[in-house]
Amino acid sequence: MAAKSDLTLPVVISAGIHIGVIVILALGVDFSEKPKPQPQASAPAVQAVVVDQKKVAEHVEKLKAEKREAERKEKARQDEADRKVREARKEREREQARIKKLEQERKQKEIETKRAADEAKAAQLKQKQEREKAAKAEAERKQKEKERKASEEAARKAEEKRKAEEAAAKKAEEERKRKAEAERKRKAEEQARREQEQMMQEALAAEQAALSQTRNKQVMTEVQRYTSMIRATIQRNLVVDESMRGKSCRVFIRLANDGFVTASQTLDGDSVVCRATKAAINKAGRLPVSSEPDVYNKLKEINLTVQPEFD
């Protein structure tokens, strides 16, 4: 409103001056003639008119300058507004791109979460199956251990019975010899002593043979059990495909007393199965071994045939 008031006054003055000039021209005033002498009192009025016209011109120029400045500022304002619009558009595009990226990341995270859940479920199922197999193997081991102890107990009782029978027979023989051959008592006693020693040696040898046979049977049973456990461990870590069906690989394995694999070598068989078998052994790292020295000695270096299993 203040700017409008500033423009109104000069415009009114300028319009008044122009109207005055038009009126003078309409009245036929001839400015080409020399001015007639006028009373001295009118000179200030002419001078005032000239001064006013100059001020009007200056004011008009000032108004034009102000208009140009206003137009320049308006253009600058419009340019700034356009720049802000462009910047806002770019910012909106960046925000949309960021939102799109976040959505993609969210979807990817959902996929990864589902995959992890599926893998965890599969791992749990596998662990359950392994526990069931281990429980079954442990039950079989306990049953065999029970049978072994029963066999040893039967052998012990049979040996005790044999010894008792031998002692009774010996006592009867000695009594008969004392009654029948009193004169050869010393000789008979010596003969009996030798026979007793021989019988004891034979009994001891028989006992040792029986114990050795029982122990060997037990050792071989344990060796077979741990061999099966080693093969099962390798099978669990074996990555198979259809190209391996019906094929096998024979490998040599050397084990430390804690089951750590110190060496492994493929001997013969399908190359693909052999590579997979080597990888499964390396992945397992440790294989089942017995803490009993005589069982471990038969397991520390073994040749094993591995054939992929398919459900």
Block means of pLDDT (10 residues each) for the chain, length 311 residues? 48 58 48 46 52 86 93 94 94 93 92 91 91 92 91 90 91 87 81 76 63 62 90 92 91 92 92 93 91 88 89 68
- Predicted confidence at residue 34, as pLDDT, reads 44
Q: What is the dihedral of CA 189, 191, 196, 199, to 10 degrees?
A: -160
Structural contact between residues 155 and 210, judged by C-beta atoms closer than 8 angstroms? yes
- Measured over the CA atoms of residue 50, residue 55, residue 57 and residue 58, the dihedral's sign is positive
The residue among 144, 133, 148 whose CA lies nearest residue 228 is 133
- Predicted confidence at residue 188, as pLDDT, reads 77
Task: Please tell me the pTM assigned to this model.
Answer: 0.34
Host H or E run for residue 3: helix 2-26
- Predicted confidence at residue 180, as pLDDT, reads 86
Structural contact between residues 262 and 254, judged by C-beta atoms closer than 8 angstroms? yes
Q: Count CB-CB contacts under 10 A for residue 100.
A: 10
Please give the biggest Cα pair distance in the chain: 209
Q: What is the DSSP string of 159-171?
A: HHHHHHHHHHHHH
What are phi and psi for residue 108, nearest 5 degrees? -65, -40
Helix axes 271-284, 185-236, angle to 10 degrees: 100
- Predicted confidence at residue 27, as pLDDT, reads 47
Structural contact between residues 274 and 251, judged by C-beta atoms closer than 8 angstroms? yes
The residues near 270 (Cβ < 8 Å, ≥ 6 apart) are 244, 247, 248, 249
H helix runs in 41-184, sequence order: 43-180
